[in-house]
Amino acid sequence: MSTLTPQELKKALAQAGFVIFRTQGDDIILAERVRENLIMDSGVRLRAGSPLVVRVVLRAQRGDFPSEGEAHLFERVSQLAEPARSGGFEEVERNVAPVVDPGDPQRTLDTFYEITLAKSADGLESAIDGVRFAMGLEKMASAKPD
């Protein structure tokens, strides 16, 4: 099987009904439509190469759980990742990502605790199925009211 370029993958994803947020190197980052005129990064990526790799970033936001420590926040995200693991995704990275104030780079507005999961695909059809699955996942741990 020949390796598809990011441009070819973008075209195939668009034909399958996905919206492209941007391309970063070999990663095609998919978008979620928040409103008719607003799209945002969905946390789902398709990486070109052989094999194709579907990646999804799940997270918890410190501001939603201000009294919890880092270990507990990662545990929340790990629990959120169970459906992805059941779908064949494996954890490949953990990251603490500060959200910096664009007007004051010395000020941190919030912090995300992220787990990235990935799943290899044996072809374009399998990759699109993986993307569709990942797009349907809950990607943000939420504070549920008691």
- Structure pTM? 0.89
* 4 pLDDT higher than 90: no
DSSP-derived secondary structure for 36-56: TTEEEEEEEEEE-SSSEEEEE
For residue 34, pLDDT over 80 is answered with: no
CB atoms within 10 A of CB 137: 18
Domains along the sequence of the chain with CATH: 6-135 (3.30.1460)
| Digit-coded pLDDT (tens) for 98-117 | 999 999 999 999 999 999 99
For residues 10 and 19, give the distance between their C-alpha atoms in angstroms, rounded to a whole number: 9
| Cα–Cα distance, 105 to 37 (Å, whole number) | 28
Outline where the chain has alpha helix (H): 6-15, 70-80, 82-86, 124-135
The percentage of residues in the chain with a pLDDT greater than 90, rounded to a whole number, is: 84
